[in-house]
Amino acid sequence: MPGTDLPSGDPEQPTIEQATLLVADTIGEIMGFWNFKPSMGRVWTVLYLSTEPLSADDIGARTELSAGSVSMTLQELLQWGVVKKAWRRGSRRRHYEAETDLVAMITRVFRERELRMIDDAVSRMEEAAALLAGLPRSERVDFLRTRLRTLLRMARTGRAIVDRFAGGGLLDLRSLRGALQGAG
């Protein structure tokens, strides 16, 4: 297979490829669960498990994704900062490698995606509260205001938790980082 990490004819190669694709499919499924494209997980995993940077053609051969899908996926992964371009001596093709700091990747996603979603939810709930504030008191309006205050308090607390996680605050991930680095 082009761009493989082991010399062609290596008897371990088919098993290594099978294991790599198994992990790539698994990460792809997890990414799909998080509402990312499964191809993003597959491509990132193939790069992460590669001992050398890979070209788009190599990635396509390993993942069995079309050239167009690989190209679009790489652009998205570059935007998220989980893949970077890499230079390979003697090659004019673009090569790519995975971000290997898993904690940094996860916190970046939380910071850029989850915080945005929570901020939007808080904003819309505040808008709903402003609408209710203009109504005269009644049993139904008081009930809605109370329930809305509870939801807003929960959303703001959730935002603070995600913000601390993404910023490395009180939810310090150093022990997780150490475990991940120790496994490498």
Q: Which residues pair with 21 in a beta bridge?
A: none
- The whole-number pLDDT of residue 174 equals 54
pLDDT higher than 60, residue 7: no
Query: Cα Rg for the chain, rounded, in angstroms?
Result: 23
- The whole-number pLDDT of residue 142 equals 95
Q: Reduced to 3 states, what is the DSSP secondary structure of residue 167?
A: helix
pLDDT tier at 184 (50, 70, 90 boundaries)? very low
Query: Which of 51 and 166 is assigned the larger pLDDT?
Result: 51
Query: Which of 98 and 115 is assigned the larger pLDDT?
Result: 98
- What is the rounded distance in angstroms from the CA atom of residue 74 to the CA atom of residue 27? 16
- The whole-number pLDDT of residue 120 equals 93
Q: How far is CA 39 from the centre of its chain?
A: 12
What are the residue ranges spanned by the domains of the chain?
A: 13-98, 102-183
Span 13-98 CATH architecture: Orthogonal Bundle (1.10)
Is 6:17 a contact under the CB 8 Å cutoff? no
- The whole-number pLDDT of residue 107 equals 80
pTM value surpassing 0.75: no
- What is the rounded distance in angstroms from the CA atom of residue 14 to the CA atom of residue 3? 14
Query: Which of 168 and 75 is assigned the larger pLDDT?
Result: 75
pLDDT higher than 70, residue 3: no
pLDDT higher than 90, residue 175: no
